[in-house]
C-alpha cells in the first residue's frame, strides 16, 4: 500500500510546456476540428432526415398495396 501511495504521488515524467504559441496553436487546431465535426454532423442529420422520409414513403406505399390486395379501407 505504501508503494502505491508513493507511486501515486510521485511526479510524472511528462514535461509541462508553458509556451503561449503551443497553447494557441492547439486551440486553433481544436477549433478547426470542432468546425469539421459540426459540418459532418449537419451532413449526417440531413442523410438521416432523407432516410426517414424514404422509409415513411415506402411504409405508406405498403399500406396502399395491402389495402388494395385485401380490400381494406384506410382509417
Q: Which has more pLDDT, 17 or 11?
A: 11
- The structural domain count of the chain equals 1
Q: What is the pLDDT of residue 19?
A: 58
Using alpha carbons only, give the angle 46, 48, 49 rounded to the nearest 5 degrees.
Answer: 65
In a domain, 11, yes or no: no
Residue 10 lies in a domain: no
Residue whose C-alpha is closest to residue 54's, from 46, 28, 22, 71: 46
Which pLDDT tens digit goes with each residue over 13-60? 666 566 556 788 888 999 999 999 999 999 999 999 999 999 999 998
> How many Å apart are CA 60 and CA 57, to the nearest integer?
5
Examine residue 61 and state whether it is found in any structural domain, yes or no: yes
pTM attached to this predicted model: 0.50
Q: Answer whether residue 5 is part of any domain.
A: no
Amino acid at each position: 500500500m505504501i508503494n502505491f501511495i508513493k507511486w501515486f504521488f510521485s511526479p510524472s515524467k511528462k514535461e509541462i510546456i508553458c509556451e503561449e504559441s503551443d497553447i494557441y496553436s492547439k486551440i486553433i487546431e481544436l477549433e478547426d476540428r470542432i468546425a469539421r465535426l459540426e459540418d459532418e454532423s449537419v451532413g449526417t442529420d440531413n442523410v438521416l432526415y432523407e432516410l426517414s422520409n424514404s422509409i415513411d414513403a415506402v411504409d405508406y406505399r405498403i399500406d396502399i398495396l395491402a389495402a388494395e390486395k385485401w380490400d381494406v379501407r384506410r382509417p
